[in-house]
Amino acid sequence: MAIHVDPEGREIRALERVAEWRRKRVLEIGCGSGRLTLRLAALGASVHALDPDPKAVRLARRNLPARYAARVRYRVGDAAQLKLPDASFDIALFSWSL
Amino acid sequence: MVHALREAHRVIAPDGVVVEARPAAIHRRVAVQSGKVRRHVGVMRENFHRERHADRAVARSVRAGWFRECAVRSFSCTRTMDTLEDYCTWLGEFYTVTDSPPHEWLVERIERALEKAPEGSRIIIAAPVTVRLLKKI
């Protein structure tokens, strides 16, 4: 099976135009299998990525390259009940999840 | 959705932002592409209940004084699929998320278009995606 989302990389370019991602603490809500997470990590962000689907999170963890392991964390979680401290991120990204 | 925005507001720092990206409430266009030639096949029928609900949630969070909308951008996002099976797999997931009407008529059209197209042709789904920047107040 071969399904490619946004092969031209237009989404990450649009995200780069609206915010600075380098050295930012990013909460990604709805990371799925980590398609966008890795692109954000490549921009220099530290990403705490959440998704309610455990299967998607398992797949994302499997596909996480070692070079991003220190800056990317995948968790199963619900956007309406974040078990995270107040004011702990610079950017919250809803990636196709609101 | 409002609860998710409320939680996002809580966990971001005082000068933090929310970036909200999702497909716009515009019907997806389906085409078959061979090389640089893209042949339009049909337009998907979607009800956009989720999108409208999300728009209302964002508007409510702005009215409530949690965020100020600072920027809105749109771009055309494509999804490419190698086979009709890929499209049907994606369609199955799409139904569960969007509660949209059946698209058997479109599957048949794509099948016919692929039969006529050169080998190696791909299915392209294009839809505009909107990115919003909301600054925490």
Confidence of residue A1 (pLDDT cuts 50, 70, 90): low
pLDDT digits (tens, 9 = 90+) for A21-79: 999 999 999 999 999 999 999 999 999 999 999 999 999 999 999 999 999 999 999 98
Q: Are the CB atoms for B9 and B136 separated by under 8 Å?
A: yes
B124 closest CA partner among B25, B37, B45: B37
Enumerate the β-bridge partners of residue A92: A27, B18
**What is residue A65's predicted lDDT score, i.e. its pLDDT?**
95
Helix axes B104-116, B84-98, angle to 10 degrees: 160
**What is residue B96's predicted lDDT score, i.e. its pLDDT?**
78
Residue B101 above 90 pLDDT? no
Long-range contacts of B87-93 (CB under 8 A, 24+ apart): B87/B123, B89/A1, B89/A3, B90/A3, B90/B125
Beta strands B29-34 and A46-51 are unpaired
**What is residue B95's predicted lDDT score, i.e. its pLDDT?**
81
pLDDT digits (tens, 9 = 90+) for B65-85: 999 999 999 999 999 999 999
Identify which has the larger pLDDT, A77 or B94. Answer: A77
Q: How far is B79 from chain A (nearest CA, A)?
A: 4
Contacts of A75 in chain B (CB under 8 A): none
B47 closest CA partner among B125, B101, B89, B107: B101
Whether A3 sits inside 8 A of B129 (CB atoms) is: no
pLDDT digits (tens, 9 = 90+) for B14-49: 999 999 999 898 999 999 999 989 999 999 998 888
B22 closest CA partner among B41, B42, B5: B5
**What is residue B114's predicted lDDT score, i.e. its pLDDT?**
95
Contacts of A50 in chain B (CB under 8 A): none
Residue B98 above 80 pLDDT? no
Whether A5 sits inside 8 A of B79 (CB atoms) is: yes
Nearest-angstrom CA–CA distance, B69 and B21: 13
Within 10 Å of residue B53's Cβ, how many Cβ atoms? 12
Beta strands B67-81 and A3-5 are antiparallel
The 8-class DSSP code of residue B1 comes to: -
What ipTM was estimated for this complex?
Answer: 0.91
**What is residue A84's predicted lDDT score, i.e. its pLDDT?**
93
Nearest-angstrom CA–CA distance, B107 and B113: 10
Q: How far is B109 from chain A (nearest CA, A)?
A: 19
Beta strands A46-51 and A25-29 are parallel
Percentages helix, strand, coil for chain B, rounded to the nearest 5? 40, 40, 20
Q: How far is B30 from chain A (nearest CA, A)?
A: 14
Mean pLDDT across the stretch A78-89?
92
B106 touches chain A (CB under 8 A): no
Give per-residue burial for B5-34: e unless 16+ CB within 10 Å, then b: bbbbbbbbeeebbbbbbbbebeebbbbbbe
B9 closest CA partner among B61, B84, B57: B61
